[in-house]
């Protein structure tokens, strides 16, 4: 399993789906497990959850930076 690929895929799905985003905010581990459909060790799930959170935060920051560029 390529973790970086899974993180990107999950972040994309969560960013596009409001229900998934709400579930991820409340119970990130359960949300990731349900999206993956695989039972993984807790330490691996935690790494994936942290990666998805970072990816989502980075995507928001990137969008904000692009918006600021368009102002100038």
3-state secondary structure of 1: coil
pLDDT value of residue 2: 78
The per-residue pLDDT for range 22-72, each reduced to its tens digit, is 999 999 999 999 998 888 888 888 888 898 888 888 755 444 434 444 444
Report the alpha-carbon distance of residue 40 to residue 13 in Å, rounded.
19
Buried b (16+ CB within 10 A) or exposed e, 8-24: eebbeebbeeeebeebb
Q: Which domain does 35 fall in, by range?
A: 3-71
Buried b (16+ CB within 10 A) or exposed e, 51-60: bbbebbeeee
- Give the total number of structural domains in the chain: 1
The per-residue pLDDT for range 5-28, each reduced to its tens digit, is 888 899 999 889 999 989 999 999
pLDDT value of residue 64: 41
């Amino acid at each position: 399993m390529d973790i970086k690929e899974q993180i990107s895929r999950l972040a994309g799905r969560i960013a596009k789906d409001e229900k998934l985003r709400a579930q991820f905010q409340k119970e990130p581990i359960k949300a990731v497990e349900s999206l993956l459909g695989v039972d993984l060790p807790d330490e691996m799930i935690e790494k994936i959850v942290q990666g998805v959170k970072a990816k989502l935060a980075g995507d928001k920051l990137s969008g904000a930076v692009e918006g600021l560029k368009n102002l100038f």
